[in-house]
Amino acid sequence: MLNSFPDCRARGINIGLGTDTFPADMILNMQLGMMTARMAAGMDRIRSEDMFDAATLGGASALNRPDLGRLEAGSKADITVVDFSRTLQGSDPVQSLMTSASGRDVCDVWIDGRRVMADRTIPGIDEVADAARAQAQFDGLIAKYPERTVGHPPLRDIFTPSYERCRQ
């Protein structure tokens, strides 16, 4: 359970994991949280199920939402189905989730009992058009950087490439 974090049980600290990142991959964020916690506390002290509990029960506790983070009567019916057919599978689905799955393995989602993703598709969402629109907005934002930057340097000086291009 959540309070099985050895250092936290004695102090009564609730551990919660939330995310506001891009790309929005909660599974990756749980994995990174687990890796970071393991580095900080020692490899044998943080288990996959501890981080999973932090992301579910801990997140609900941090929000003061006892109706989240669990599947039981009176709770919101939020369910994420993960397809493990493309991941390494162990004998424990939580360990498989925490060691080899990613957000790309999510195939179905229900929020408050309403199905919002079916077979990796969100009805009404055009991913190609949305990606093109987002890229155009990003390109427009980047193009304005020289006028916003002290000395107005060219883009190639503001955003230096990882590797220089070879000229022929």
Cβ neighbours, 10 Å, residue 96: 18
Tell me the CA distances in angstroms from 65 to 37, 42, 50, 70, 74, one per residue in order.
24, 31, 19, 11, 11
Tell me if the pTM is above 0.85: no
* Segment 4-52, tens digit of pLDDT: 444 444 456 666 677 777 777 888 888 888 888 878 777 667 778 887 8
* Segment 107-150, tens digit of pLDDT: 999 998 899 999 999 999 999 999 999 999 999 999 999 999 99
Q: Where are the domains of the chain?
A: 2-117, 127-158
